[in-house]
Structures are given as C-alpha cells and as structure tokens.
Amino acid sequence: MPNLSTEDVETLVANALIESGCAPGNAISVARALVGAEIDGQAGHGLNRVGSYCAQVKVGKVVGDAEPMVERALPGWITVDAGHGFAFPAFDLAIDAVSAAAAETGIAAATISRSHHCGQAGRHVERLADRGCIGLLFANTPEAMAPWGGSKPLFGTNPIAFAAPRRDAESLVIDLSLSTVARGKVMAAAKKGEAIPEGWALDAGGNPTTDAKAGLAGSMVPMGDAKGAALALMVEVMAAALTGGRFGFEATSFLNAEGGPPDVGQLLIAIDMRATAGEGFLDRMEALTGAMLAQDGVRLPGSSRMAKRETAAKDGLAVSDAVLEELRGLAG
C-alpha cells in the first residue's frame, strides 16, 4: 500500500466531496475528520466512508452546502442546527460555543439537530479536553440493536464518549459504541463469507448466530447484555428526544444514498474543571492514572492514538490501492 502525507489524503477527500456538490468549507471539515479517524485506527469512521458520503451529497440525502446555525439559547445551553448537512461542520461550531459558555458558567451543553453520522466520537470530546474541559458526547445512530428481550432492531449502536484533560500528558479519552462489537466487523465478515463468533449478533428470530449475513438481517448484541441495551435507550433519550431528532428505528442509513436525511441528533457537554476543582483536578487525575499505570499490563483507554499520530506525521498514511483509486476517481 502506498504511503501518502496526511495533507495529500485530506486534499483528495475534500476534492472528492467538492466534486460531488459539497461546499469547500464543509468538505475540508469532513476530510479532516475522516483522515483523523483513519490515522487513529478507526477505519470504520475513515476513508471507506468517502464513497457513500459522496453518493449521499449527489442525491441530496446530505445537504452538501448546508450552513450550520448556532444559537446560545441560555447562558449554559447552545443549539446547533446542522441543516441536514454533515455533522462535522456543526461540531466545529458546537465545540467553540460550548467551551466558551462553560468558561463562563462552569458547565454547558450543546444539542446538534438535523444531523448525520458524527464519526469518531472520541475526537470531538478530545478537542474539549484540549481546552481544559471534561467532555461528554451522546450520539444516536440508525437501528441496529433490539431492546433487551426483543428481536427487532430499535436502537442504534449509539456511541458515547468521554475525555478529561491531564497535566503534561495526552488527555484521557474513552470512546465506545454500545454493541458488543462494531457492526462494521459483522459487515466485513459477511463480505468475506466468514463466520462470526457467537455473542456478536442475533438472527431475525432473536437467536444467537455465527452467520454474519443472518446477523446483519437481525440485531447486534448489546455490550453487557441488558445493561448495554439500557444505556442505548438512555442515549436515544439524550441524543434524539432532547434534540427533536429521529430515533434509531426512524432514521435512514448512514451507509447508502437511499431515503431522506437520517435526521439524528447529538448532545455535547463541557465541564470546565477550573470552575469546580481548579488545578486540583489535574492533581487528582494524575493520582488516578498513576495508580492504574503502576500495575503491569495496564494502559489507559485510547492511549495508542498518540503513537499512531506520530507515525502518520512521520511516515504518512498507508492507503490501499483500491481506496486510492476510488478517491482519485471521485476527485476528478
């Protein structure tokens, strides 16, 4: 696989989106997010999304020239209307606004409505941690999991993410979806004709299956079984009910150009630690992380991302021939 500089890959992705009808500013924001996910090893939110994103812009499922609108409805409450465009430009505005509000009020929240796939959730909250805030994100996605005891998908895999700043070290970032494994792993197995481990998915009848295609036609198993399903329900409330967005069972797919906009929502919360514990917060963070790292074999969640970013900055990003050919074809 050829290695390209991250700047060259971002330019290719942005040009592909622009050729499909995306406004340049939006295209740059999306390209930065997709390439960032690819660098961090989150390929499911990376370059393999470009083709479907472009197809959705072409048919209007995503409004490529949408201009997100931000309003500070209350001192600690921000609303962002993504306008059925990509989520990433809306997040750019939300992160600026919610961190500024939290500096004044101690805690602030931003709802993002009429939104789309938000990609690597950890990157959004990490940006808040870089500004001295604890960040929380709730995002709902199209149906993939049944409520516990049921067999019909109702909830999305519904990622949640958390980040907290540290002193003289990379922020602590926790990013997870609420299915046992990412649905993309089941999709990859189905394409290859491979079996999946039991416990990943259920078939359409609600029975455990090792058949990847049957799993895709059925339901993902929630992480922690009934507890994960309860958390997925919580995210539907926080991300969709609170923003006026569609629930998972109402939203169209992020993966194809069929139907109208997904119209999902996201909730972003920023807590300015300086308003609560001051520098003492960083002392407590180091006491906690230090106790963890004192044990052999322990690493902090998300800690591998920095090494991957250093490698990409030094050596570039490995892009498969197939993906490179697709990007060049879409970029014109």
Please state the pTM of the whole predicted model. Answer: 0.94
For residue 203, what is the domain's CATH number? 3.30.60.50
Quick check: is 324 in a domain?
Answer: no
Amino acid 187: pLDDT:
78
Query: Are 244 and 209 within one domain?
Result: no
Query: Are 173 and 44 within one domain?
Result: yes
- At 31-42, the pLDDT tens digits run 999 999 999 998
User: 18: pLDDT confidence band, cut at 50, 70 and 90?
Assistant: very high
- At 239-260, the pLDDT tens digits run 999 999 999 999 999 999 999 9
Quick check: is 49 in a domain?
Answer: yes
**Has residue 315 got a pLDDT over 90?**
yes
Query: Are 194 and 86 within one domain?
Result: no
pLDDT average, residue stretch 24-30: 98
Query: Are 156 and 85 within one domain?
Result: yes
Query: Are 187 and 266 within one domain?
Result: no
Quick check: is 163 in a domain?
Answer: yes
Query: Are 216 and 142 within one domain?
Result: no
Query: Are 27 and 102 within one domain?
Result: yes
Query: Are 87 and 196 within one domain?
Result: no
Domain span at residue 216 reads 180-221
Quick check: is 316 in a domain?
Answer: no
Amino acid 112: pLDDT:
98
User: 22: pLDDT confidence band, cut at 50, 70 and 90?
Assistant: very high
User: 81: pLDDT confidence band, cut at 50, 70 and 90?
Assistant: very high
Amino acid 278: pLDDT:
78
User: Which pair of tokens denotes residue 254?
Assistant: 């992020």
pLDDT average, residue stretch 269-288: 90
- At 176-195, the pLDDT tens digits run 999 998 787 887 788 788 99
Query: Are 91 and 212 within one domain?
Result: no
Query: Are 86 and 188 within one domain?
Result: no
Query: Are 161 and 175 within one domain?
Result: yes
- Could you write out the three-class secondary structure of the chain? CCEECHHHHHHHHHHHHHHCCCCHHHHHHHHHHHHHHHHCCCHHHCHHHHHHHHHHHHHCCCCCCCCCEEEEEECCEEEEECCCCCHHHHHHHHHHHHHHHHHHHCEEEEEEEEECCCCCHHHHHHHHHCCCEEEEEEECCCCCECCCCCCCCCECCCCEEEEEEECCEEEEEEEECCECCCHHHHHHHHHHCCECCCCCEECCCCCEECEHHHHHHCEECECCCHHHHHHHHHHHHHHHHCCCCCCCCCCCCCCCCCCCCCCEEEEEEEEEHHHCCCCHHHHHHHHHHHHHHCCCCCCCCCCCHHHHHHHHHHHCEECCHHHHHHHHHHHC
How many structural domains comprise the chain?
Answer: 2
User: 295: pLDDT confidence band, cut at 50, 70 and 90?
Assistant: very high
Query: Are 125 and 210 within one domain?
Result: no
